Every structure is written in structure tokens, then in C-alpha cells.
Amino acid sequence: MTETRFKYPRTFHLPGSPGMTSDDKLARDLSAFAGAEVVVTEKMDGENTTLYPDGFHARSLDSGFHPSRARLAALHGQIAHRIPAGRRICGENLFARHSLAYDDLPSHFLVFSIWTGDTCLSWDETRADCIRLSLTPVPELYRGPFTTDLPDRMARALDTDRQEGFVLRLASEFKREAFSRSVVKWVRKNHVQTDEHWRRGPLVANGFREGEGS
């Protein structure tokens, strides 16, 4: 049976996110984070990609072949039989350089969420699944209680010459219908939207740590 395909939900911007454009959505209600444990991860500059037991796609469900996805296809071939039915793994395909140049990535595919049906797994479950599948999660920048000054503190700690931004999510599991209230982002100023440009131009690979083979 073919797995149902899901387009990854749109992530709303935190108030004050410098990279917000007229096409983006603002997260006006942060009440779901009050008193909750949250996780802040680095927002990576790659191609949003979802893996299933029987295939994968980029953000667009009908995304076709591109040379930057060849290594991801090989990775999927290695782990597909270990992805349970109904499970999907969402992450950044970082093989090709977009706006930021990375020179020391731990993997060409970094996981930021894992889903079963309409449920996004908790961060602990996500990390456990990554270990089971020999995958690497996106860098974790903070885990702890949410405070109203947390977004500003995280923004000040970023090196925006090397980091695109951060994503803040509930540490607990949540439903797809609650995504816009459970996951928000902060993006650096003047972040170049290069989705079409990088795919049409020459492929320039990012740099990876010695021995990175997954």
C-alpha cells in the first residue's frame, strides 16, 4: 500500500523575525509555549525533505529528480526498510549549497521532526528514532522552560553570518492541526530566497566532516 504523502506545514515567524517577508505568516499567539518545555534548534539552510518507507519528496509533493538529491536517494535506500508504516521523517537535505556555505556538516541530511499520521513525535522520541536509524538531528541550541525573553536571547546568540536562524518547538508531541501554535521560527535579516536559483545553476556542494558517509 502506498504511503499517504504530506506537505510539510508552513512555519510562522516569531514577532521581530528580521527575515519575515510579505508572503510569510506571523505567529501572533505564543500562549501554547507558556509554562511548557521547549526545544530550540538551528534552522538549517537546505531543502525541506520528507522520507517515507516507500519514497521521499522535497517540499513540493511532485518534486522530481535533481542531482543534489542523489545522495539522499542512496540514504533512503539504506534505511527505508526500517521506517515503520505510517511514519515519515522530515529534515533538511544539505548536500547542495543554498545561501549559506557550510564546511563542517555532520551529515548531508539533518532531521528536525518525525511524524506518525497527524502526530509530531516528541523531541525525545525524535532523537531516539534518529539513533535507531543512524540519522543525525539538527543542532540543538537550547532545551528548557519557555520564557518571554527566550526568543530575543536566542537571536542575540546567533552568528547570522553563519547561521540562518532558529526554530522553537514544544518538546512534547503535538497534532498537525496545532502546528502553527507549536512551532515557530526566527530568520536572519536579508536571507536570500534561492530555491529556484540554486536548482537551476551549477551544483555547489557543502563541506562535510571527514568520514561523513550518511
Domain range list for the chain: 12-189
pLDDT (mean) for 167-191: 95
Model confidence over 24-33: pLDDT tens digits?
A: 999 999 999 9
Judge whether residue 66 has pLDDT over 90.
no
pTM of the model: 0.92
pLDDT (mean) for 61-70: 75
Measured distance CA(97)–CA(191) in Å, rounded: 14
- Nearest 5°: the CA angle 188, 193, 195 is 135
Q: What pLDDT sits at residue 63?
A: 67
More confident residue, 125 or 208: 125
Confidence tier at 69 by pLDDT (50, 70, 90)? confident
Q: What pLDDT sits at residue 18?
A: 95
The DSSP code for 167 is E
Measured distance CA(28)–CA(73) in Å, rounded: 38
Fold category of 12-189 in CATH: D-amino Acid Aminotransferase; Chain A, domain 1 (3.30.470)
Distance in angstroms between the alpha carbons of the first and the last residue of the chain: 28
Model confidence over 29-52: pLDDT tens digits?
A: 999 999 999 999 999 999 999 999
Contact (Cβ atoms closer than 8 angstroms) between residue 43 and residue 154: no
